[in-house]
Structure 1
Amino acid sequence: MKYIKNLVSNILLMACLFAFPCKANPTPIVNAFKKTPGDNYANINGMKMYYFTAGKGTPLILLHGAFSTIEKDFGKLIPTLAKSHLVIGIELQGHGHTNNIARPFSYQNMAADVIALMNTLGIPKADFIGYSMGGGVALEIAISQPQLIGHLVLESVAYSPAGMNMQNPSNLKPKAQTDLNHSVWKENYLKVSPDTAGWTKLVSGIYSLMGNWKGFTSEQIKSIKAPALLIFGDSDMSKGEHQIEMFRLLGGGSSGDLYQTPNLRLAILPGTTHVSMVDQYQLLQPIIGDFLKTSL
């Protein structure tokens, strides 16, 4: 358990397990959002689930990383994304504005919550951008409910524990571990949470979640047919070899000059760690924006 806590303290948060199936509501998207853009709540599986909306167009769902919020992970991207999409930023169980409930933290539950919110809002299909833990939730939905996914953007997501970049082959000097109780994540949590005393439960819930993570199989990754953009840092929490392997499992990596390749893209950002990925919005904006314009 101490080992898992150290991983979490360094924000080794990515990937997910299984989502519950849920039938999409056929309500037309044009009639789905009657509230003013901005802060909204929906009653989802016993939670008062927060979601932020901006812009208009094709629905684009944003899913944040563990301990974080939509504003922290996507705030600087949203103005650009909202020029071409109806942006829906969801805060997951116990995160940000969304209250916690008496159930275990599980990626299975979080994916089911996202699907339930899509039903509530009458969204039969959406583009997705998920960072770290949120990318894992989006990845699970793409595997278990592929009809719900348009474009799939995954930032700093590993699909297996074997892909974690934890070794120190060059005897590099270790950095001090992040103290979550004096972190930007807790600071943002205290600003917006309906239960500021719930931070400890959130942290312990994520410890348990990561301790139970088994990862996806290569067959599950191969089953994904949605157009996908994988984005990693060159000093990310997943190995470079794992990043390439995931791209190839999805069907990427062949010569585009010789063959008609699928709509798959891989971006590795220079000078970027797992945590600093969300600060690279000037690089992310054109990469993501161009990909979302591609045909499904």
Structure 2
Amino acid sequence: MFRNAITVGAMLVTTAAFAQSEPVGATLEVNGMQMYYEVSGQGDPLIVLHGAYMNIPTMGEIIPILAETHTVYALEFQGHGRTTDIDRPITYPNLADDVATFMDSVGIEKADVFGYSMGAAAGLRLALDHPEKVDQLVAASVAYDASGWQPAFVEFIPQMVPEFFVGTPMEEEWKKLAPNPDGFRGVVEKLIALEHEPMAWEEDVKQLKAPVLIIAGDADVSTLEHNVALFRLLGGGVMGDMGVPLPTSRLAVLPATSHTAVINQTDLLHGFIEPFLQGETPASFMGQ
């Protein structure tokens, strides 16, 4: 999702393609597009979903680290990376359906999901629309309602035009992997339109059964209050040490971290994600 994609562009230019733990890449027809994905590691399946204007390489070192204990399926969304664009809007329900179709095509009945930014919202929508497919969800830099965006970002959305991105180094980076190097403007227009899509998922979130790890920077595009509200909708925010198990969902806030810095906090991310996926909780001195 981002949401302030100019700084995402800077990240695309400066982020190198990290070693992917010997990933195997392939292309699969999904809902009329040719979707590129990579598989690495071994263990329970974990689907990784990138943010807007990103691709698998720009997700960085977190993928090979997660592949040490999971079979990671890293996908590239419509019009991103090596996946083709099609004559269809980019919306969160569409992205979620693409992931569901991909899972059916490769024979994954159920998996853990880790999404960042746009990928986190797509992962959340996947858990809402296809609950039978999501075991646990890690959602980094996400919102469930448009009211949760920082005021500065809300003010910026009406100013977003393709010229902010077209003809910049961001486009040059995009062309390096794109099946159609001339299609950048069309993808940008769809991603700008995504920022104007209605988002009001509170009632759906209340019904969510899958455990969710919410990860946010303390200077993220969504407000801290919104992340806490999401945590409470999922049953979190209660007092521990009272003789009852903790809620299955969790909240982690990264200090001194902006939206585009979240994905680069590899050690912190892994330190939160892996115990969550393994169902581990810190021991208290009260023995609970």
Common fold by TM > 0.5: yes
Q: 1:200 to 1:267 in 2, by over 3 A?
A: same
Aligned to 2:121: 136
Structure-1 residue corresponding to 2:171: 186
Provide the aligned C-alpha RMSD in A: 2.2
Question: Which moves more between the two structures, 138-147 or 215-224?
Answer: 215-224
| Number of equivalences | 256
Q: Which moved more, 1:226-235 or 1:183-192?
A: 183-192
Listed one character per residue, the Cα deviations across residues 42-94 of structure 1 (whole Å, up to 9, x for unaligned) are 01111110011101111100011111101102x30112111111100000100
Task: Report the TM-score when normalising by structure 1.
Answer: 0.81
Cα pair 1:8 1:207 within 8 Å, conserved = no
Q: Match of 1:208, as an amino acid? A: A
Q: Structure 2 vs 1, CA of residues 161 and 42 (structure 1 numbering), >3 Å: closer, same or farther?
A: same
Cα distance between partner residues in 1 of 2:266 and 2:105:
30
Aligned to 1:85: 70
- The letter for the 1-side match of 2:261 is S
Q: Within 1, Cα distance between the matches of 2:133 and 2:204?
A: 16
1:49 corresponds to 2:35: yes
Measure, in 2, the Cα distance between the counterparts of 1:104 and 1:162. Answer: 22
TM-aligned CA deviation for residue 182 of structure 1: 6.6
Q: Distance in 2 between matches of 1:256 and 1:186?
A: 49
Amino acid at match of 2:151: M
What is the CA–CA distance in structure 2 between the aligned matches of 1:221 and 1:292, rounded to whole Å? 20
Structure 2 counterpart of 1:229: 213
The 3 A distance-change label for structure 1 pair 243 and 182 is: farther
Which TM-score applies when normalising by structure 2?
Answer: 0.83
Contact (CA 8 Å) 2:93, 2:126: kept in 1 or not?
no
8 A Cα contact 1:42 1:49, kept in partner: yes
CA distance in 1: counterparts of 2:169 and 2:251, whole angstroms: 29
Structure 1: runs of 5+ lacking an equivalent: 12-35, 169-177
Q: 1:63 aligns with which of 44, 49, 54?
A: 49
Matched, 1:125 2:99: no
- For residues 268-283 of structure 1, the aligned pairs below 5 Å read 268-283=253-268
Q: Give the conservation status (yes or no) of the 8 Å contact 1:164–1:237.
A: yes
Aligned AA (2:86): I
Q: Partners in 1 of 2:142 and 2:168 — Cα distance?
A: 22
Aligned to 2:254, the other structure's residue is in SS state strand
What amino acid does structure 2 have at the position aligned with 1:46? G
Indicate the structure whose relative CO is greater, using CA pairs within 8 Å and at least 6 residues apart.
1
Deviation at 1:233, TM superposition (A): 0.3
Which residue matches 2:199? 215
Give secondary structure in 2 for the equivalent of 1:192: coil
Identify unmatched segments of 5+ residues in structure 2: 9-21, 154-162, 281-288
**Identical positions, percent:** 39
Q: Which residue is equivalent to 1:146?
A: 131
The separation in 2 between residues aligned to 1:64 and 1:196, in whole angstroms, is 20
CA contact 2:3–2:195 (8 Å) conserved in 1: no
